[in-house]
């Protein structure tokens, strides 16, 4: 038997014995026994009442103290309370951590009831047009009104995800996946896949552009080969003319492939450290001679003004490619007899290379797109002059790899200035 219970039994036996002994003296054993047991019952009921009172007002205070069996009962309750409190704390702590993790998640998370009502959502659920707790209890399908999603939710086959545009912004693409869990609840997870969708669009348009650019010279080449094959006789002059055109088309394809390879190298190669000290003045005088050759009969007035003491830390090959692209553009898009000025000098904002021409100029609305691959202001003109639309894209990448920026100023009919601005840490003074 429990020691506390023994103690109670002994108290009762004590009361009985005391009543008998005192009763023998006083001749009133029953009265004394009634008093003794009455006191015992009174104390018993008082402890019970204290326990009852404490149970009713638990938050009110400490559990009462007592001796004996009641003391044991109170102690056990105290221990139990402590354990429950500890477990509650642990659960609250875990719940708190789960909620802050879910809140920090960039993916939208929504818990739906069996009926499809919103039970809980994290802050990123705004991707799906849901704001919690404002939308608690609402139907998800009422907030995310997309016919494809409605069909996906109705079908109930959730092995694959579905892509929709976000109700929050038409520009944002969200991939949604539903996962059933618990008895009949559902977890909806939405992920922003805008970047992936854009990359995919870029990849598609890139492949389409390359194919398109290659198709024209290939068609011309194929046509000439076919014509030559069908001819029984051909004069040497005609043959030379045909071959010259074929040569020109193959050169065009060669240029396109070279530019594409250059771009891919610039994009994939890790940025090189300040590997070479490039004598820009010498490099530019070589490029000026090439520009004069390209200008040929058009006789542009090409001038060069370069500070020989300013050397550039970078890649000679890449800089040559970027600067020659800018200079060739100036020659190609400036009418015969126009002026082209090349300068390399220190300015208040760093050191700059500028190409200024008196050519046809570019309207400002084209500026943001000029460095995009295959972008040309006048597609027909550029193509007829052998342009692929990759030149300025190469310039942008080379400058990026040299911590430099490109600035464009232009007036239609007046001319343009392309300025490459290099930061001080890229310059070596000699
Ligand atoms: N100096 C300039 N003056 C007028 N327009 C220019 C000038 N430089 C570039 N452009 C315009 O910007 C477009 C993009 O130039 P970019 O050098 O990227 O391509 P491209 O010259 O057409 O072809 P590529 O350089 O690849 O042979 C050109 O098609 C042209 O319309
Ligand atoms: Mg160009």
Peptide bond into 133 cis (omega under 30): yes
Whose Cα sits closest to atom 17 in ligand 1?
391
The CATH number for 105-192, chosen from 3.40.50.300, 3.40.50.2000, 3.30.450.20, 3.40.190.10, is 3.30.450.20
Whose Cα sits closest to atom 9 in ligand 1?
329
Tell me if 227 sits within 8 A of 242, measured CB to CB.
yes
Residue to probe by mutation, ligand 1, list 291, 389, 419, most atoms within 8 Å of CB:
389
Ligand 1 atom nearest to CA at 392: 18
Residue to probe by mutation, ligand 1, list 391, 393, 415, most atoms within 8 Å of CB:
391
Tell me if 314 sits within 8 A of 381, measured CB to CB.
no
What is the DSSP secondary-structure string of 118-133?
A: EEEE-GGGGGGT--TT
Structure tokens at 78: 């105290």
Question: How many angstroms separate the Cα of 25 from the Cα of each of 36, 70, 175?
Answer: 16, 33, 96
User: What does the pLDDT read at residue 167?
Assistant: 85
Tell me if 318 sits within 8 A of 274, measured CB to CB.
no
Domain residue ranges of the chain, discontinuous segments joined by + = 3-99, 105-192, 196-267, 272-429
User: What does the pLDDT read at residue 219?
Assistant: 92
Task: Write the Ramachandran bin of 136: left for phi over 0, alpha for psi from -120 to 50, otherwise beta.
Answer: beta
**List of residues 6+ apart from 258 with CB closer than 8 A:** none
Ion ligand 2 — residues with CB under 5 Å?
329, 391
Ligand 1 atom nearest to CA at 360: 4
3-state secondary structure at position 62: coil
Question: How many angstroms separate the Cα of 132 from the Cα of each of 13, 119, 150, 166, 419?
Answer: 67, 9, 21, 16, 50
User: What does the pLDDT read at residue 223?
Assistant: 92
Cα distance between residue 415 and residue 418, in whole Å: 10
Identify which ligand lies nearest to the alpha carbon of 385.
Answer: 1
Ligand 1, residues at Cβ distance < 6 Å: 259, 325, 329-330, 333, 357, 359-362, 370, 375-378, 382, 387-393, 416
**Cα 316 to ligand 2 centroid, rounded to whole Å:** 19
Cα distance between residue 370 and residue 373, in whole Å: 8
What is the DSSP secondary-structure string of 86-113?
A: HHHHHHHHHHHHHHHHHHH-SSEEEEE-
What confidence tens digit (pLDDT) does each residue in 255-303 have? Answer: 999 999 999 999 888 876 667 999 999 999 999 999 999 999 999 999 9
User: What does the pLDDT read at residue 294?
Assistant: 93
Instruction: Name the helix (H) or strand (E) containing 272.
Output: none
Identify which ligand lies nearest to the alpha carbon of 330.
Answer: 1
Q: What is the third-level CATH fold of 272-429?
A: Heat Shock Protein 90 (3.30.565)
Residue pointed to by tokens 């295959």: 374
Regions of the chain where pLDDT drops below 50: none
User: What does the pLDDT read at residue 154?
Assistant: 85
Tell me if 412 sits within 8 A of 353, measured CB to CB.
no
**Cα 275 to ligand 2 centroid, rounded to whole Å:** 27
Q: pTM here?
A: 0.67
Instruction: Name the helix (H) or strand (E) containing 314.
Output: strand 310-314
Q: Which residues pair with 306 in a beta bridge?
A: 344
Nearest CA among 423, 428, 429 for reference residue 349: 423
User: What does the pLDDT read at residue 69?
Assistant: 82
Q: What is the third-level CATH fold of 196-267?
A: Helix Hairpins (1.10.287)
Cα distance between residue 373 and residue 60, in whole Å: 75
Cα distance between residue 216 and residue 250, in whole Å: 11
Dmax of the chain from CA atoms? 159
Identify which ligand lies nearest to the alpha carbon of 392.
Answer: 1
Whose Cα sits closest to atom 1 in ligand 1?
330
Residue pointed to by tokens 């039970």: 119
- Looking only at the bridges linking them, the beta strands covering 301-306 and 339-347 are parallel
Whose Cα sits closest to atom 29 in ligand 1?
376
Ligand 1 atom nearest to CA at 259: 26
Tell me if 314 sits within 8 A of 423, measured CB to CB.
no
């Amino acid at each position: 038997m429990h020691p506390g219970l023994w103690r109670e039994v002994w108290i009762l036996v004590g009361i009985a014995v005391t009543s008998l002994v005192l009763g023998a003296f006083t001749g009133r054993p029953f009265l004394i026994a009634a008093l003794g047991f009455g006191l015992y019952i009174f104390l018993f009921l008082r402890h019970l009442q204290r326990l009852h009172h404490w149970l009713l007002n638990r938050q009110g205070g400490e559990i009462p103290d007592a001796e004996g069996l009641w003391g044991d009962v109170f102690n056990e309750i105290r221990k139990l309370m402590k354990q429950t409190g500890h477990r509650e704390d642990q659960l609250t702590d875990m719940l708190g951590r789960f909620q802050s993790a879910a809140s920090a998640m960039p993916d939208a998370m929504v818990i739906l009831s069996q009926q499809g009502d919103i039970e809980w959502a994290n802050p990123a659920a705004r991707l799906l047009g849901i704001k919690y707790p404002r939308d608690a209890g609402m139907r998800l399908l009422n907030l995310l009104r997309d016919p494809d999603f409605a069909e996906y939710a109705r079908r109930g086959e959730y092995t694959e995800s579905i892509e929709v545009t976000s109700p929050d912004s038409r520009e944002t693409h969200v991939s949604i996946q539903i996962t059933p869990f618990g008895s009949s609840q559902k977890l909806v997870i939405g992920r922003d896949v805008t970047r992936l969708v854009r990359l995919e669009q870029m990849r598609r348009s890139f492949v389409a552009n390359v194919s398109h650019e290659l198709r024209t010279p290939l068609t011309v080449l194929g046509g000439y080969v076919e014509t030559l094959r069908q001819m029984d006789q051909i004069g040497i002059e005609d043959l030379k003319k045909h071959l010259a055109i074929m040569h020109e088309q193959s050169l065009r394809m060669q240029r396109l492939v070279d530019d594409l390879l250059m771009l891919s190298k610039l994009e994939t190669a890790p940025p090189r450290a300040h590997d070479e000290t490039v004598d820009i003045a010498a490099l530019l005088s070589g490029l000026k001679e090439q520009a004069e050759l390209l200008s040929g009969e058009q006789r542009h007035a090409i001038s060069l003004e370069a500070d020989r003491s300013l050397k550039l830390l970078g890649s000679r090959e890449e800089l040559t490619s970027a600067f020659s692209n800018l200079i060739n553009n100036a020659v190609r898009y400036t009418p015969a007899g126009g002026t082209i000025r090349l300068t390399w000098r220190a300015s208040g904002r760093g050191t700059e290379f500028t190409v200024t021409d008196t050519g046809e100029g570019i309207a400002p609305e084209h500026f943001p797109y000029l460095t995009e691959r295959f972008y040309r202001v006048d597609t027909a003109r550029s193509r007829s002059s052998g342009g692929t639309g990759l030149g300025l894209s190469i310039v942008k990448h080379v400058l990026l790899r040299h911590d430099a920026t490109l600035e464009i100023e232009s007036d239609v009919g007046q001319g343009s200035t392309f300025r490459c601005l290099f930061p001080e840490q890229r310059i070596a003074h000699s």
